Amino acid sequence: MTFVSPAVQRGTLVGLIGFHILIIIASNYLVQLPMTLFGWQTTWGAFSFPFIFLATDLTVRLMGKGPARQVIARVMVPALVVSYVVSVLFQEAEFRGFGALLEFNLFVLRISLASFFAYVLGQFLDIQVFDRLRRLPAWWIAPTASMVLGSLLDTFTFFSIAFWHSDNPFMAEHWVEIATVDYGVKLSVSLIFFVPLYGMLLNAIVRALGRRPALSH
């Protein structure tokens, strides 16, 4: 069952595609910025990427897994290209100038490719898990399970491709630790903030569309 009419769905999909690309760009930039959290190494990207899982889960709930997969398919290549360009221009939080685009940057390319594969694998797993569980009476089970499993696959796919034997000695040495903490941060943020936010947004959207409360579905 979907809650969104075809006319609304078309416009919504365009907005979702833009939102996904924006979050991917921001996360690829922020993942280059390490931080220490309670004595553990992680990156600022851990706080931005859960927004994509929130958007995907709402898409599956309101429009079905078909439209959600369309969003992923249309985002993949543009996000890869734009992520590389932005990450080259602002590598390690410093503007490198447009001349940097004329030089091949393996470090940033690995981050962009890692983001590509992590995004595709993580999101398709998220969609599959959520779709299987979304009809359960307890509304929170589907977003919780999909975020837990999708984030796990996404995080370790990304860090292994991006930083294993990386040119960045710090990330090459600490990527397993950083990936583990990054996943822990994502999981904590998702369970504490994004799952409740999912419930609030779902009810607000469905009520705005004049349908019955979503959480009883």
Q: Which residues contact 81 (CB under 8 A, 6 or more apart)?
A: none
pLDDT, position 3: 57
Mean pLDDT of 120-135: 94
Q: What is the pLDDT of residues 72-116, one digit of tens each?
A: 999 989 988 988 888 888 877 678 888 889 888 888 888 889 888
pLDDT, position 210: 65
Between residues 217 and 39, the one the model is more confident about: 39
Mean pLDDT of 166-180: 87
> Which pLDDT band, with edges at 50, 70 and 90, does 151 fall under?
very high
What value does the mean pLDDT of the chain take? 85
**CA-atom Rg of the chain in angstroms:** 18
Q: Give the pTM.
A: 0.83
Tell me how far apart the alpha carbons of residues 98 and 35 are, in angstroms, rounded to a whole number: 27
90 backbone dihedrals φ, ψ, rounded to 5°: -125, 40
Tokens of 133: 């569980």
